[in-house]
Amino acid sequence: MNRAQLQGMRNLAATKQVGYSHDLRFTRRFTSGTLEGMTHEDHIPFCSMRDAEEWVSSVNQANAKGKLSYRVETWKVVSL
38-75 pLDDT tens trace: 999 999 999 999 999 999 999 999 999 999 999 999 99
Q: Is residue 2 part of a domain?
A: no
How many domains does one find in the chain? 1
* Average pLDDT in the chain: 89
Strand order across the beta sheet in which 39-46 lies:
39-46, 22-30, 70-79
Q: Is residue 49 part of a domain?
A: yes
Q: Is residue 72 part of a domain?
A: yes
Q: Is residue 4 part of a domain?
A: no
Determine the pLDDT at residue 3: 81
Which pTM was predicted? 0.74
Domain of residue 51, CATH code: 3.10.20
Q: Is residue 33 part of a domain?
A: yes
Percent of the chain with pLDDT over 70: 90
- Domain with 32, as residue range(s), is 20-79
Whole-Å CA distances, 29 to 14, 21, 23, 25, 33: 26, 26, 19, 13, 12
DSSP letter assigned to residue 47: S
Among 78, 16, 75, 74, residue whose Cα is nearest residue 46: 78
**C-alpha to C-alpha distance for 19 and 11, rounded to whole angstroms:** 15
Q: Is residue 5 part of a domain?
A: no
pLDDT higher than threshold 90 for residue 16: no
Q: Is residue 3 part of a domain?
A: no
